[in-house]
A = this chain, B = another copy of it.
Amino acid sequence: MTHPGSAQPVRIGIVGLGTVGSGVVRLLVDSADHITRHAGRPIEVAAAVVRDPTKERDCPLPAVQVSTDIRVISRDPSITLAALLVGGLEPARSMMVELLENGKDVVTANKALLAEHGPELFELARRRGRSIAFEAAVAGGIPIVAAIGECLAANRIESIRGILNGTSNFILTRMEEDGSSYSEALALAQAKGFAEADPSMDVDGTDATQKLAILSHLAFGVWVPWKEIPRTGIDTVDIDLIHYAGELGYRIRLVAVARRSDGRLAMRVAPALVKIGTPLAETRGAYNAVSIVGDAVGRMFFHGLGAGQMPTASAVVADIIDTVVGRTAITFRTTGVLSEDTPAARVAGVDASERHFLRIRVTDRPGVLARITGILGEHGISIASVIQHDPIDGANRPAAGGSTVPDVSLVIMTHSCPSSSVHNALVSIDQCDAVRGRSDCLGVLDE
């Protein structure tokens, strides 16, 4: 056996020393012996590119050239690999182009960049004989990219279902376990470093949708423009919805779904009810979960931390090792990931026959329940259970002696029926005089 420690080190560049970037540097330094053994040679951070080089960093930077200019990495012929660890589209895109054009292999955690510009970037990498590795872009520490691209390579994948956004899951779990309001839970997520200062891409479902687009490409061999995927965020979920779900034996999770359906991909990212005791319902806090069904392997389930500094750094460093030893180049070549002849997906909404959970706010007066259940019946939807409590919204209670008619929430769980029927019924229901605002409709996952 050779002694990896004595081999020539690989010199790499790090672009971005934020949470993930500094975690990667720390891991490379703190676990150097271990990583050297797996990579066959030492890995040395030669240069780092940041926006503000005067800022203090929470990681050791011995002998590292820190600059604002990407060219300290891209134009240094002794550097063969760069980890691009900045978010957003620009300047991330231009920097990746500069790195690839100059012959660097790239490892990245930037899912927005891949979901938006994947085809052109991968094509450029291929033309230059370089590779792009992106395990950290989806589901943090869970090795789901390797699982789909390599480990399940013998399978025709039938479906993917997952909790892909740690921030949303953290917020939903806090609301459910502490009874926090949405805004309190969001503030806590920000304090703990799970949520960005601007969390809108997390809570409106964009982040999970971009990850689903990337996973679907790997699993189904088609390119999915992420904006075509029907998407609802958790910013539509309030504490009452969580309580009602709990009364029925469910929790609410932001669930991403993609499955083959008559030559199309039925896809959706939306809050859904998941039955307590099932793996998705037991996925709490910043954890992510992915369930995949393959024709040979059956159902596989993965669960692990999907956000946070070190879990993401773990995935980035695994990709760096894979690139150094040559595995990435092989995978990149053989799987033809995001190549120009990848067909575009035909995306459809999920029109599953499943149970639906409805919340309809109504003015509490005689005949309302009959009217609403009548409309559901006209659309062929039968009802499994109904909850109607006393008025729940303090602000709507009639003042003592007042005559205001209070609003109440009518919560209905349907039997299995097509989503399209429910949506049509809700259009009629929301036009009723007694109905206040827009009703909520969530899919129900019983297993």
Q: Check A53 for interface membership: any CB of B closer than 8 A.
A: no
Binds B, one of A168-176, A263-271, A302-310, A437-445: A302-310
Binds B, one of A72-80, A179-187, A319-327, A423-431: A319-327
Q: Check A371 for interface membership: any CB of B closer than 8 A.
A: no
Judge whether B27 and A300 touch: CB under 8 Å. Answer: no
Q: How far is the CA of A315 from the CA of B300 in the complex (A)?
A: 12
Judge whether B302 and A298 touch: CB under 8 Å. Answer: no
Binds B, one of A34-42, A55-63, A346-354, A398-406: A34-42
Judge whether A330 and B326 touch: CB under 8 Å. Answer: yes
Q: Check A362 for interface membership: any CB of B closer than 8 A.
A: no
Q: Check A313 for interface membership: any CB of B closer than 8 A.
A: yes
Given contacts A151-B143, A296-B310, A297-B305, contact A330 B336 (CB under 8 A): no
Judge whether B152 and A322 touch: CB under 8 Å. Answer: no
Judge whether A322 and B150 touch: CB under 8 Å. Answer: yes
Given contacts A154-B31, A321-B153, A334-B40, contact A304 B297 (CB under 8 A): yes
Q: Give chain B residues whose Cβ lies under 8 Å from the Cβ of A336.
A: 1, 37
Which of A151, A155, A282, A330 counts the most B-chain CB atoms under 10 A from its CB? A151
Q: Check A391 for interface membership: any CB of B closer than 8 A.
A: no
- Give the contacts of A218-267 with B (CB-CB under 8 A): 221
Q: How far is the CA of A331 from the CA of B135 in the complex (A)?
A: 18
Number of this chain's copies in the assembly equals: 2
Q: Check A216 for interface membership: any CB of B closer than 8 A.
A: no
Judge whether B334 and A150 touch: CB under 8 Å. Answer: no
A311, closest chain B residue (CB): B297
A335, closest chain B residue (CB): B38
Judge whether A296 and B279 touch: CB under 8 Å. Answer: no
> Can you list, as one digit per residue, whether each of A334-363 has a CB less than 8 Å from chain B (1) or not (0)?
111001110000000000000000000000
A144, closest chain B residue (CB): B151
Q: Give chain B residues whose Cβ lies under 8 Å from the Cβ of A151.
A: 135, 143, 146, 315, 318
> Can you list, as one digit per residue, whether each of A268-299 has a CB less than 8 Å from chain B (1) or not (0)?
00000000010100100000000000111111
Judge whether A40 and B301 touch: CB under 8 Å. Answer: no
Q: Check A314 for interface membership: any CB of B closer than 8 A.
A: yes
Which listed residue (B135, B152, B314) contacts A296, Cβ 8 A? B314
Judge whether A298 and B303 touch: CB under 8 Å. Answer: no
Q: How far is the CA of A305 from the CA of B35 in the complex (A)?
A: 31
Q: Check A317 for interface membership: any CB of B closer than 8 A.
A: yes
Q: How far is the CA of A37 from the CA of B331 in the complex (A)?
A: 11
Q: Give chain B residues whose Cβ lies under 8 Å from the Cβ of A39.
A: 334
Q: How far is the CA of A144 from the CA of B87 in the complex (A)?
A: 30
Which listed residue (B27, B221, B305) contacts A154, Cβ 8 A? B27
Q: How far is the CA of A333 from the CA of B325 in the complex (A)?
A: 10
Q: How far is the CA of A95 from the CA of B152 in the complex (A)?
A: 28
Judge whether B298 and A311 touch: CB under 8 Å. Answer: yes
Q: How far is the CA of A322 from the CA of B153 in the complex (A)?
A: 9
| Minimum CB–CB distance for A249 against chain B, Å | 13
Q: Give chain B residues whose Cβ lies under 8 Å from the Cβ of A298.
A: 141, 304-305, 308, 310-311
Q: How far is the CA of A298 from the CA of B302 in the complex (A)?
A: 13
Q: Check A147 for interface membership: any CB of B closer than 8 A.
A: yes
Q: Check A142 for interface membership: any CB of B closer than 8 A.
A: yes
Q: Give chain B residues whose Cβ lies under 8 Å from the Cβ of A34.
A: 154-156
Q: Please name the 3 residue pairs, one residue from A and one from B, whose CB atoms are nearest each other, closest first.
A: A143-B151, A154-B317, A141-B297
The chain A residues found within 8 Å of chain B, CB to CB, are: 1, 27, 31, 34-35, 37-40, 135, 141-143, 146-147, 150-156, 221, 277, 279, 282, 294-305, 308, 310-311, 313-315, 317-318, 321-322, 325-327, 330-331, 333-336, 339-341
26 contacts between A and B (CB under 8 A): A31-B156, A34-B155, A38-B334, A143-B143, A143-B146, A146-B146, A146-B147, A150-B318, A150-B321, A150-B322, A151-B315, A152-B318, A153-B317, A154-B318, A155-B314, A279-B282, A282-B282, A296-B314, A297-B314, A297-B315, A298-B304, A299-B305, A300-B302, A301-B304, A303-B303, A326-B330
